[in-house]
Amino acid sequence: MGSGPSGAAMKLVAAVMTFLSMVVFLGYMMIWSMKSTNTFYLHWWPDVLKKTSSTYLGEQGTTTLIYAFPILFIATIGSLYLHLEKKYDHDHSTRFISRIILLKRPVITKGPLGIVSWTELTFLAMFVALLVWSMYSYTHNMFAFAALEAAQEKFQVWEVKLRGAALSLGLAGNACLAFLFFPVTRGSSILQFVGLTSEASIKYHIWLGNITMVIFTAHGLSYITYWSHTHQISQMLKWDKFMVSNVAGEIALLAGLVMCLYVMFVIFYVFHVGFAESCLILPGFYLFLIDRYLRSLQSQQKVRSVAARILPCETVELNFSKNSELSYAPTSIAFINVPSISRIQWHPFTVTSNSNMDSDKLSIVIKREGSWSHKLYQILSSPSTNRLEVAIEGPYGPPSTNFTRYERLVLVSGGSGITPFISIIREIIFKCNTTSSKTPRIHLICAFKKYVDLTMLDLLLPVSGTTLDLSRLLLQIEAYITRETQSKTENQNSIRTILFRPHQSDRPVSAVLGPNSWLWLGAIISSSFIIFLILIGLLTRFYIYPIDHNTNMKHPVPASSAFNMLFVCIAITIAASAAFLWNKGENAKESSQIRTTDMSTPAPSPTSLVSETELESLPHQSLRQATTVHLGQRPNLKKILSEYKEEKVGVYVSGPRKMRQEVAAICSSSADNLHFESISFSW
């Protein structure tokens, strides 16, 4: 367990946190499932409103308590859990999700969502059930009195039902919107608490966004049709000060259809329904705003580019100076911006270095494919290049990985999908040199299009000069060249290295919230929410309440909504900026030391930049000897994986979608000894 609390104590704390979070989440989902029923609106809601409404928070205090507080509470608990796990649980023995391997096994391998694990399917099923139930319940309750309302209002029954269906669509769409921003919160404590990452969950954001806009578009068109048939088309221009604002809803819908205008969409959505009602979607967007603001703070700093290595296969390895306290798990991803190419484009790339082995360096690998990477390759190929200005967000990834729980690792990659496995192999090298426990044997199966792509294997091992014994690594490599039948040895070793000149303004890559980032994130979530409650409490008690006395019919709702949105931004800015500035001061101490070392060392001239840091071979068996090359063939994955029947095998795949689905299908239909996991990669 490492220093600190005992293993038994940590397991107890982890169990309590997990149980408490599950109870709160189930209660939160129960409220959502009951929200569409008459029991909620006629009995539960009036009673809760009566007990919780106050002169300080009003009705929005009740909605904040019911809809926003539970998720923010779970996010805070999750941050504390991840902090304790990172600090004390070096063997990851308390990891709740990691112990339940079944939840990570693929249950669906083909379909529009790709590979879906039991964990993802559980949340997916809960969401679909909630959406279907909400739509049915809202519609059923509204249709029940359609005939009576039609008689009273002198409309046709179908027109009243159309109006009810339109309202039902809007209310049900809130369920989609409430969960829309969770997958795109890159540093989310909630996702990582349940064993997911933003990179793997982004597909759900895309699907949720599409479903949300389909539902809201149908909601808007239904109302327009209803207004048209009942001669109320002027309602489209209505901006009510105390009820629903139709104009704001129309603007929100148009902004949502444009997709990139998500901020405008949320702002006018709040104007459309009022801030009290928008508390339904507040927690997801609130956590996203915190994450987005922290990312913007980190991205303002240009990082120290150390060197670049250009491989014959038109692949580039970029190396950056790193704060020694910055740690990340293998398979993490960093977002890169190169202002000389584009100031607005950010591209994700897999981090190939290992924070345990490469304490002062962070590396990424970029394949020359696409216009952006083509421009980067041209810049680095220029003989006059001696500095590369880069900004970085991240790294992001799983909070921890425990490969040593397996007897063998089978790593399956296609093309540039090999990049995540570079950090995994380096992690195993570090483990087998620093721990007494047995480390897994590694079977790397990699497929490339061309023979020259084999030079990417040279990136698997650390640079020469490492004090670790590489002979302890039990590595077997099978490389498949799919489009060539003859070996081509020319220029295979012509790796060119560029050393960049240091610049006074550059800084080493560091975590935006320092080494205790999860603890700081939990503090930001909780403290910013408290600041927000204080601000709206003061506004309500001393300005709004004296005007309307909680009637919501005298003080304009749009004005209150604007104040609340402003207070959300102010609260997040205060809390996140304070945490950032504190950690920036701590990071500056090590940055100054690194800068002093860099500036005191003369930079080599561009003409003398030769390949000085070739990768070291295994002492007792070279990397070439460990590699079997199959020309003109594709790997028979079913045959290879079927050979492992007795061992406990971790099967990790990174590559094209078809390859990942094939491996997932093999593992899901095999014995329980094959544990599958798909690795997200970017290059």
Judged against a pLDDT cut of 60, whether residue 515 lies above it is answered with yes
For residue 139, the surrounding DSSP H or E stretch is helix 118-143
DSSP code at position 614 = P
Q: What angle do CA 652, 98, 191 make, to 5 degrees?
A: 90
Highest mean pLDDT among 72-76, 142-146, 324-328: 72-76
DSSP code at position 504 = T
* Over residues 530-550, mean pLDDT: 87
Taking each helix axis from N to C end, the angle separating 262-273 and 557-600, rounded to the nearest 10 degrees, works out to 150
- CB 508, CB 591: distance < 8 Å: yes
d(CA 682, CA 15): 35
pLDDT the model gives residue 79: 93
pLDDT digits (tens, 9 = 90+) for 223-232: 999 999 988 9
* Over residues 642-668, mean pLDDT: 81
pLDDT the model gives residue 597: 52
pLDDT the model gives residue 672: 67
d(CA 581, CA 333): 24
pLDDT the model gives residue 606: 34
The residues, any chain, with a CB within 8 Å of residue 310's CB and separated by 6 or more, are 316, 377, 380, 381, 495, 496, 497, 498
Query: Between residues 123 and 468, which one has the greater pLDDT?
Result: 123
pLDDT the model gives residue 493: 55
- CB 490, CB 455: distance < 8 Å: no
pLDDT the model gives residue 60: 82
Q: pLDDT grade, residue 74 (50/70/90)?
A: very high
d(CA 420, CA 331): 5
Nearest to 170 by CA among 241, 240, 244: 244
Q: pLDDT grade, residue 94 (50/70/90)?
A: very low
Judged against a pLDDT cut of 90, whether residue 20 lies above it is answered with yes
Q: pLDDT grade, residue 527 (50/70/90)?
A: very high
- CB 471, CB 620: distance < 8 Å: yes
Q: Tokens 């959300």, residue? A: 568
Strand partners, 664: none
User: Would you call the peptide bond into 395 cis, given omega within 30 degrees of 0 as the criterion?
Assistant: yes
- CB 180, CB 212: distance < 8 Å: yes
pLDDT the model gives residue 174: 92
- CB 521, CB 234: distance < 8 Å: no
The residues, any chain, with a CB within 8 Å of residue 94's CB and separated by 6 or more, are 7, 10, 11, 13, 14, 85
Question: How much is the mean pLDDT over the chain?
Answer: 83
Q: pLDDT grade, residue 618 (50/70/90)?
A: very low
d(CA 233, CA 290): 40
* Over residues 284-311, mean pLDDT: 92
Strand partners, 507: 303
For residue 391, the surrounding DSSP H or E stretch is strand 390-396
Judged against a pLDDT cut of 90, whether residue 522 lies above it is answered with yes
* Over residues 459-481, mean pLDDT: 74
Query: Between residues 215 and 92, which one has the greater pLDDT?
Result: 215
For residue 489, the surrounding DSSP H or E stretch is none
d(CA 484, CA 244): 65
pTM here? 0.88
Tokens standing for 345? 């484009």
CA torsion through residues 253, 255, 261, 264, sign: negative
Nearest to 400 by CA among 681, 95, 74: 95
Q: pLDDT grade, residue 122 (50/70/90)?
A: confident
Q: pLDDT grade, residue 222 (50/70/90)?
A: very high
Nearest to 166 by CA among 205, 115, 222, 125: 222
Cβ atoms < 10 Å from Cβ of 617: 16
Q: In this predicted structure, which of 23-27, 84-88, 98-102, 275-279 has the lowest mean pLDDT?
A: 98-102
pLDDT digits (tens, 9 = 90+) for 559-617: 889 999 999 999 999 999 999 998 887 666 665 555 555 544 444 333 333 333 333 34
3-state secondary structure of 411: strand
Judged against a pLDDT cut of 60, whether residue 346 lies above it is answered with yes
In terms of C-beta density within 10 A (0-12 exposed, 13-18 middle, 19 or more buried), how is residue 501 classed? middle
DSSP string, 309-376: EEETTTEEEEEEEB-TT----TT-EEEEE-TTT-SS--EEEEB-S-TTT-TTEEEEEEES-SHHHHHH
Q: Give me the amino acid identity at 36.
A: S
